[in-house]
Structure 1
Amino acid sequence: MSKLQSSIYPKTGGRKNIFFSGKGGVGKTSMACITAVETAQKGYKTLLMTTDPASHIGSVLDKPVTDEITQINDIENLYAVQIDQKKAIEAYKKRILQDAEGKFDANTIMAMKEELDSPCTEEMAAFQKFIEFASREDFEVIVFDTAPTGHTLRLLELPMDWSKQIQLKAGISTEISEEDKKQKERFDRVFDRMKDENITTFSFVMYPEKTPMVEAYRASKELEALGIKTQLVIANLIIPEEQAITPFFQKRRDMQLKYIKEIQETFKDAELLKVPMFEDEIKGLAMLKTIGEKIFNGGLQHE
């Protein structure tokens, strides 16, 4: 098994978490869908999930995807789920307030309600759903289509004892609840897996230009501070050599090749996957299967 293949297929009897991150619009969703279809095709029970409210995994798969884990028809072993931000927020608020009822007075409950209307509640709710899905044991591969870089980093840097934090902000000093202890243990388990390079592959998708490369590198350093290494970088939307037949496209391709070399030097410890631009929109299982087979089992390695 090549280094590239070992970054997406689990070891025998093991599991694999694969994160796709990067700047908005660089092709994270397409790469996540291609990878999930590929691992499912190889016989691994795979969950494709997104933490990005603007994600369009359903459009790329050309199949309906909801906030409930759903098996994708026409391909064995593939399941998908999209976090419904609104539902996640309401469920999160409800749990916090139900836990508070009977413990605190009306003024404290009111203060907590106000706190729960703050912008950080949305991130906390998404974070909790992320942990819920990431801690599942019934999938061999979980592919994460994450929100643009900054959002992903905030998700991973959120405080651990979120309910305790809300209680303290409301002016209360109390022991962490049993429910929060379970949530904390679940988070620690997920985070330990994310730091284990045998279990988790964290990858950045970028098109070969300066801005997405710099943003990805900066984010990779922040992740490194959390103990998470970047193992895979994907240079996407490369103009194929045979299509660079006009001065305009030749110049664009030459620029891309220069940045591909720079990406390789910048992320020297990560595996580099080069993916060409396709003439058709990446959509539907047939196309996803074809691309996955080529890039992971033979390689569309355009120099």
Structure 2
Amino acid sequence: MKQSSNIKELILPKEGLHKNIFFSGKGGVGKTVMACITAVKTAKEGYKTLLLTTDPAAHIGKVLDKPIGDEVTKVEGIDNLYAAKIDPKVAFEEYKNNILEDAKGKFNEDTILTMEEELNSPCTEEMAAFQKFISYASEEKYDVIVFDTAPTGHTLRLLELPMDWSKQIQMKAGLSTEISQEDRKEKEKFDKVIALMKDKNVTTFSFVMYPEKTPIIEAYRASEELKTVGIKTQLVVSNLIIPKEEANTSFFKNRRHMQEKYLREIESTFNEASILKVPMFNKEIKGLDILIDIAEKIYQ
């Protein structure tokens, strides 16, 4: 296991570079809270930081205790922090409508129906939401982008195809199509961002889990899938650990003992990653003051 002293290097940009930080993991493990804590930390360190989520269940506004909408807004009460929620449904509808509008007048009704069926596949929503991230990352306006809910290996493989996904759909519909100059520029932008995501100096992929079997298995499967597209898991957050000093009843002693067993499993399973251990707190994690306090404690 790498020493925790490396962890700050995983969230702060190297000189002259930007930093992308992705948090992934199963639902309910604390991805959103960790993304907020990390974004607050990098902002406090003086880096212009954008916090994004594509998880419809995410509650970054509640955790920050600030209103967060679909457009990027400055988070009041802290310098350098901006945030936005990317609604996957809205992004999907925009994406689908753009492709179908472009197809109207070029193809017959049957072809357009076939394209619409292809567009309604489950991965298209994730693709559409992730494209929003790509547009932000391409602007290079921010020193750090913290992304709550990372794309799957499957989505990244689709983005690596030799033409963009809308052109793939046209091909699947039985059409041959030329790639326009505009399409090529868009693909170059995708390819640049994907290359940055594979560069460990620029991008940190992190899995959040609590020390129990199911989150470990799910994170391991997802990390193995990311390896197939050349992305290694660099950081693992072991969340909701019962503090040793609080394990003073038989119930909490047993729970702590169980967690220690799974912490060892996390360290052996993700032996190439740095491990960040985050304790369970006795109050709700909400508001900038508590986020700043926790960030200082866990990232010291």
TM-score by length of 2: 0.92
Q: Relative contact order: is structure 1 or structure 2 higher (C-alpha 8 Å, sep ≥ 6)?
A: 2
**Structure 1's 250 and 207: CA in aligned 2 closer, same or farther, altered over 3 A?**
same
Q: Could you tell me how far apart the structure 1 residues matched to 2:241 and 2:145 are?
A: 27
Residue 68 of structure 2 aligns to which amino acid in structure 1? V
Q: Could you tell me how far apart the structure 1 residues matched to 2:119 and 2:221 are?
A: 31
Alignment partner, residue 158 of structure 2: 158
Alignment partner, residue 264 of structure 2: 261
Q: CA deviation at 1:125?
A: 1.8
Q: Could you tell me how far apart the structure 1 residues matched to 2:57 and 2:181 are?
A: 34
Q: Could you tell me how far apart the structure 1 residues matched to 2:279 and 2:38 are?
A: 15
1:167 has 2:170 as partner: yes
Which of 51, 57, 71 is the equivalent residue of 1:54? 57
- Secondary structure of the corresponding residue to residue 234 of structure 2: strand
1:293 has 2:296 as partner: yes
Alignment partner, residue 67 of structure 1: 70
RMSD: 1.8
Conservation of the 8 A alpha-carbon contact between 1:60 and 1:284:
yes
Which of 232, 247, 252 is the equivalent residue of 1:249? 252
Q: What are the residue-to-residue correspondences of 1:35-114 with 2, within 5 Å?
A: 35-114=38-117
Structure 1 unmatched ranges of 5 or more: 298-303
Conservation of the 8 A alpha-carbon contact between 1:21 and 1:152:
no
**Structure 1's 167 and 257: CA in aligned 2 closer, same or farther, altered over 3 A?**
same
Alignment partner, residue 193 of structure 2: 190
Q: Could you tell me how far apart the structure 2 residues matched to 1:20 and 1:117 are?
A: 26
- Secondary structure of the corresponding residue to residue 230 of structure 1: coil
Q: CA deviation at 1:110?
A: 4.2
TM-score by length of 1: 0.91
The answer to which of 155-164 and 247-256 deviates more is 155-164
Equivalenced residue count is 294
**Structure 1's 98 and 238: CA in aligned 2 closer, same or farther, altered over 3 A?**
same
Conservation of the 8 A alpha-carbon contact between 1:208 and 1:238:
yes
Q: Could you tell me how far apart the structure 1 residues matched to 2:50 and 2:237 are?
A: 21
- Secondary structure of the corresponding residue to residue 152 of structure 2: helix
Q: Could you tell me how far apart the structure 1 residues matched to 2:133 and 2:42 are?
A: 21
Conservation of the 8 A alpha-carbon contact between 2:23 and 2:31:
yes
Alignment deviations for residues 204-254 of structure 1 (CA, whole Å, 9 cap, x no partner): 111011111122112111111211011111110000111111011001101
Runs of 4+ in 1 over 6 A off after TM superposition: none
Q: Could you tell me how far apart the structure 2 residues matched to 1:127 and 1:9 are?
A: 22
Residue 34 of structure 1 aligns to which amino acid in structure 2? I
Conservation of the 8 A alpha-carbon contact between 2:152 and 2:222:
no
Alignment deviations for residues 5-46 of structure 1 (CA, whole Å, 9 cap, x no partner): 100000122111111111111101000000000000000000
- Secondary structure of the corresponding residue to residue 205 of structure 2: strand
Conservation of the 8 A alpha-carbon contact between 1:209 and 1:259:
yes
Q: What are the residue-to-residue correspondences of 1:190-269 with 2, within 5 Å?
A: 190-269=193-272
Q: Could you tell me how far apart the structure 2 residues matched to 1:241 and 1:185 are?
A: 51
Alignment partner, residue 144 of structure 2: 141
Alignment deviations for residues 177-199 of structure 1 (CA, whole Å, 9 cap, x no partner): 33332222111111111111110
**Structure 1's 178 and 75: CA in aligned 2 closer, same or farther, altered over 3 A?**
same
Residue 214 of structure 2 aligns to which amino acid in structure 1? T
Residue 206 of structure 1 aligns to which amino acid in structure 2? M
The answer to which of 82-91 and 64-73 deviates more is 82-91
- Secondary structure of the corresponding residue to residue 8 of structure 2: helix
The answer to which of 262-271 and 128-137 deviates more is 128-137
Q: Percent identity of the aligned residues? A: 66
Residue 9 of structure 1 aligns to which amino acid in structure 2? L
**Structure 1's 57 and 247: CA in aligned 2 closer, same or farther, altered over 3 A?**
same
Conservation of the 8 A alpha-carbon contact between 1:26 and 1:236:
yes
Conservation of the 8 A alpha-carbon contact between 2:103 and 2:112:
yes
The answer to which of 12-21 and 31-40 deviates more is 12-21
